[in-house]
Structure 1
Amino acid sequence: MTDATELNRLFWHSRRGMLELDVLLVPFVREAFSDLEEADQQRYRKLLECEDQDMFGWFMQRSEPDDPDLRRIVRMILDRVQPK
């Protein structure tokens, strides 16, 4: 379980200052993070340690993370916003 202080910290770390990332990460942490399994929450925290340029490429689907954990969380975030 993640407490309010941790969620607030994650919210601020999710604000990257790059609109393309902010529109994906901020709603994800607000709306979906709390419902994730602990392992996926850890994957999200790991994602936030990555460079913005790397994340931009992943979310624009120009490349994929080499790390399978990062690949999983990127896919989860993209699946939330892409039409089915």
Structure 2
Amino acid sequence: MSEAEHPFDEIELKRMRWRSRRGLLELDIVIERFLASDFDQLSVADLHAYRELLTWDDTDLLDLVNCKIEADAPHLQPVIDRLRRA
């Protein structure tokens, strides 16, 4: 994939990994598994969706991963599904 097709450079990807550190241990465990198994295979659209999920509050994101709430935005669902499987 060329740089033009992939707007996320190495620095931005590292920032996203750093921002993936959360304040809740349970959420950290899920996200660490996700980063190890799925992050490098995400499409550009999924990277945008994941970056949007990183703006969520920790408790809301944990509730989302634990199926206690659902996201209103369908474009987030592929990444949510991957997080839930992690």
| Shorter-chain TM-score tier | 0.7 to 0.9
* Bigger RCO of structures 1 and 2 (CA < 8 A, at least 6 apart): 2
Which structure features the higher share of helix residues? Answer: 1
TM score, norm. by length of structure 1: 0.78
1:2-56 superposed Cα distances (whole Å, 9 cap, x missing partner): 4332222111100012111111113323442221111111111111011112111
Q: 1:8 aligns with which of 14, 23, 26?
A: 14
Structure 2 contact 63–69 (Cα < 8 Å) conserved: yes
The change in CA–CA distance for 1:4 and 1:27 in structure 2 (over 3 A counts) is farther
RMSD in angstroms over aligned alpha carbons? 1.7
Q: How many residues align?
A: 80
Q: Which of 25, 36, 45 is 1:39 aligned to? A: 45
% same residue = 35
Moved over 4 A (4+): none
**Gaps (5+ residues) in structure 1?**
none
Instruction: Tell me the secondary structure at the aligned position of residue 67 of structure 2.
Output: coil
Which 5+ residue runs of structure 2 have no aligned equivalent?
1-5
For 1:18 and 1:75, the matched residues in 2 are separated by: 20
Q: Which amino acid aligns with 1:25?
A: I
Instruction: For 2:24 and 2:59, locate their aligned partners in 1 and report how far apart those are by CA, in whole Å.
Output: 10
Query: Is residue 17 from structure 1 mapped to residue 23 from structure 2 by the alignment?
Result: yes
